[in-house]
Chains A and B, each alone.
Chain A
């Protein structure tokens, strides 16, 4: 079975779901499971389409890096769809579209194809955020997303005019042959901004507050967990292999990302609303991930993306469900949320402690390893910035946990469906098991991304 089915089948199912609305949710789950099966049996390598040998025509690149990301994305979409099958059943077709486009984003080896999938993923994301019933915020997101995509296309077209190819591997080979980085600064900056809008990097992320600050149990996990993870994986692939920042551009990007970490954590610290705390924490996390890729810490950045996606899934689901029932997400109004929901409270606490990087949880193992690697690469300032950010993160998360655990004046009673609880327990178990038994994490290294190998083979 070819990996191209991961794009074709959800796209076909999205059209079918418009005609057969009643079976749309089942179709989504069936397609998601089919995708997961294909991911484990499809052959890896460069997959050509239409018989055109690369660099002519469009090709896909399926390696362990894309396999990790695709398993995560497809599994998360199935979980989110199942949890929202009653309240948001009309969105199944859109989730199928999101699935097809995100799979395409993570598989494609063609820069223009990447722009196409970026736009389709964007359109699906705008539609998902319409469930917030805040059209102005969605419009703001759409405008920023459209400008970002246009800038990305501008960068791609400039690169095409310089090198005459759109194939990523071929482009990297030609760039290596020219050995003149100065002329690449403009297209790389434009492409980085384009991807940065969707990846929530400062200062291109002003849409995040409006969208995630008013999110629900569908849009919150989809944007903060699924889209954030997918865009981080895409950004990581391009930072590591294509952009390879150097000189002044490296300095500017490093400063911007460091500011993103500090400002994100500071904004989360001063927030009193639960969703804002989570969204600003996500902004800081996105910058940390990009910074790790910039410094070549690939494998721990990949694990960090996966851990962040799983933790944010639980955090946003718990808070958004409570917000829906309580009416607002002020921490004072959510006080005592876990006094009647011990199990939910425990899983939420474990997810939060993992994000903070507390021992016995996978977040600690990941943070310890990437900080060690950064220190070994003499990036002491970055280590200091991430440690300071972790301290600030620790303070506001502990403050939030104390509020949510201790009863307030008014008793609040939020009912979580058993399906929610099963997901929370499973995620917490994964975070705990990988935090105490880290052998599976050591099985992989930075060679999971095979683009550089392809460049050597074809160069």
Chain B
């Protein structure tokens, strides 16, 4: 169920990216898409009855959640933040040059 929700979120982000003509909205859409992907990554290691993957003396027989996707998603989030920061700084340069964030408005000036 969580995986379906994450894929829907991913598709929403992709749809926003394809239909929006505003630079900032495109960056937000990219982030929504990435969040969908992050939830998908987390969901593949998730277990309804699972516990935190910490080895204890009486831990035999317990079901753990997979910790690897959690580690992966942390790295992916950091990279996503880096890309977003760069995208926003480029958006600032675009605004400085064209005086607008709207792609249609700057169409003639390109």
Q: Which A residues are in CB contact (< 8 Å) with B26?
A: 143
> Within 8 Å of chain B (Cβ to Cβ): is A370?
no
A154-B86 in contact given A116-B79, A136-B106 (Cβ < 8 Å) = no
A interface, how many residues as a size bin? 20 to 34
Whether B30 pairs with A126 at a CB distance below 8 angstroms is: no
Whether A154 pairs with B40 at a CB distance below 8 angstroms is: yes
| Nearest-Cβ distance from residue A49 to partner chain B, whole angstroms | 15
Whether B90 pairs with A138 at a CB distance below 8 angstroms is: yes
Closest 8 interchain pairs by CB?
A135-B93, A161-B44, A119-B79, A135-B94, A139-B90, A157-B41, A135-B90, A146-B83
Whether B34 pairs with A160 at a CB distance below 8 angstroms is: no
A136-B86 in contact given A112-B72, A116-B79, A147-B17 (Cβ < 8 Å) = no
B interface size (C-beta, 8 A): 31
Distance of A147 Cα from B31 Cα, bound (Å):
10
A153-B86 in contact given A135-B93, A143-B26 (Cβ < 8 Å) = no
> Within 8 Å of chain B (Cβ to Cβ): is A383?
no
Tally A-B pairs: CB < 8 A: 70
Q: Which A residues are in CB contact (< 8 Å) with B90?
A: 126, 130, 135, 138-139, 142
> Within 8 Å of chain A (Cβ to Cβ): is B9?
no
A-B contact sample (4 more), CB < 8 A, given A135-B90, A136-B103, A160-B69: A112-B75, A123-B83, A123-B86, A161-B44
Whether B94 pairs with A139 at a CB distance below 8 angstroms is: yes
Q: List 11 A-B contacts (CB under 8 A).
A: A116-B75, A119-B83, A122-B83, A126-B86, A130-B90, A136-B106, A142-B90, A147-B17, A154-B10, A157-B69, A161-B44
Tell me the B residues contacting A by CB distance below 8 Å.
Answer: 10, 14, 17, 23, 26, 30, 33-34, 37, 40-41, 44, 68-69, 72, 75-76, 79, 82-83, 86-87, 90-91, 93-94, 97-98, 103, 106, 110
Whether B37 pairs with A154 at a CB distance below 8 angstroms is: yes
> Within 8 Å of chain B (Cβ to Cβ): is A241?
no
> Within 8 Å of chain B (Cβ to Cβ): is A448?
no
Distance of A126 Cα from B87 Cα, bound (Å):
9
Secondary structure of the A contact surface, majority rule: helix
Whether A136 pairs with B110 at a CB distance below 8 angstroms is: yes
> Within 8 Å of chain B (Cβ to Cβ): is A242?
no
| Nearest-Cβ distance from residue A112 to partner chain B, whole angstroms | 6
> Within 8 Å of chain B (Cβ to Cβ): is A150?
yes
> Within 8 Å of chain B (Cβ to Cβ): is A46?
no
> Within 8 Å of chain B (Cβ to Cβ): is A9?
no
Q: Which of A112, A123, A135 contacts B82 (CB 8 A)?
A: A123
| Nearest-Cβ distance from residue B41 to partner chain A, whole angstroms | 5
A142-B75 in contact given A123-B82, A157-B40 (Cβ < 8 Å) = no
Q: Which A residues are in CB contact (< 8 Å) with B40?
A: 154, 157
Q: Which B residues are in CB contact (< 8 Å) with A116?
A: 75, 79
Q: Which A residues are in CB contact (< 8 Å) with B110?
A: 136
CB contacts under 8 Å to B, within A137-175, are 138-139, 142-143, 146-147, 150, 153-154, 157, 160-161, 166
Distance of A214 Cα from B69 Cα, bound (Å):
40
Distance of A164 Cα from B76 Cα, bound (Å):
18
Whether A147 pairs with B14 at a CB distance below 8 angstroms is: yes
Q: Which B residues are in CB contact (< 8 Å) with A150?
A: 33-34, 37
Distance of A207 Cα from B66 Cα, bound (Å):
38
> Within 8 Å of chain B (Cβ to Cβ): is A127?
yes
| Nearest-Cβ distance from residue B55 to partner chain A, whole angstroms | 15
Whether B37 pairs with A153 at a CB distance below 8 angstroms is: yes
Distance of A112 Cα from B23 Cα, bound (Å):
29
| Nearest-Cβ distance from residue A405 to partner chain B, whole angstroms | 33
Whether A127 pairs with B86 at a CB distance below 8 angstroms is: yes
Q: Which B residues are in CB contact (< 8 Å) with A153?
A: 37, 41, 76
| B72 and chain A: residue at smallest CB distance | A112
Q: Which A residues are in CB contact (< 8 Å) with B34?
A: 146, 150
Contact flags A102-137 to B (C-beta < 8 A → 1, else 0): 000000000010011001101100110010000110
Distance of A148 Cα from B25 Cα, bound (Å):
19
Q: Which B residues are in CB contact (< 8 Å) with A143?
A: 17, 26, 30, 87
| Nearest-Cβ distance from residue A298 to partner chain B, whole angstroms | 31
